[in-house]
Amino acid sequence: MNPTDPLDYKRALPTIRLLTRCFQAFERLSNANVRKFGLTGPQFDILATLGNTDGMTFRELGERTLITKGTLTGVVDRLEARGLVGRCAHESDGRSTRVRLTACGQALFEQVFPQQLAHCSSAFDAHGCEELAELNERLARLLHSLENFGGSQSAAANNGENDD
């Protein structure tokens, strides 16, 4: 049972199942909370990515949230229609648009983000810091493999940096 035996194509199956189920369980938890604020998952992602920044271009926003440009226009449209984000011209590149939170969007971000984090984090209460740290190490290694696999996959996305 060589760990890199190409014939043993089933060895990753338990990991795949667990990863999927963990994420789905987390997402249910997360979405149920986010929807109370009238936000969808992608909308919250954008709010969280724009929070505590000067705003960013569609391209940057797309790279961070893994939403493609055509879709992003629609999602941002809906947030703009609700007065949560605004578009403004880029200072130096006439092709670019900068998206940023409005005062209203910033207020919502400040209300939702910590509350959302607290809500989701409480599901991790049974797990000590060391346990999480070890899990993180292993997930980080796996992430590296998954993102660099094949080469046809697009460059690693670097999701939001908000940590307050």
- Identify which of residues 31 and 162 has a Cβ nearer to DNA in the complex: 31
Q: Does 136 bind its own copies (CB under 8 A)?
A: yes
Q: Which of residues 33-72 bind DNA (CB under 7 A)?
A: 35, 40-43, 57-59, 62, 67-72
Contacts of 65 (CB under 8 A, 6+ apart): 42, 45, 46, 49, 72, 157, 159
58 binds, among DNA, its own copies, none (CB under 5 to 8 A by kind): DNA
Interface pick for its own copies out of 28, 87, 94, 151 (rule CB under 8 A): 28
**Distance between CA atoms of residues 33 and 57, nearest Å:** 28
First to last CA, the chain: 45
For the chain, where are the alpha helices, taking DSSP H only?
13-34, 41-50, 58-65, 69-81, 103-121, 129-148
Contact 46, 76 (CB under 8 A): yes
- Identify which of residues 38 and 151 has a Cβ nearer to its own copies in the complex: 151
**Distance between CA atoms of residues 101 and 87, nearest Å:** 9
Tell me the site size for DNA, rule CB under 7 A: 30
Interface pick for its own copies out of 76, 99, 142, 151 (rule CB under 8 A): 142
**Which of the stretches 1-9, 51-59, 86-94, 96-104 binds its own copies when contact is defined by CB under 8 A?**
1-9
Point out which residues bind DNA (CB under 7 A): 31, 35, 40-43, 57-59, 62, 67-76, 78, 87, 90, 92-98
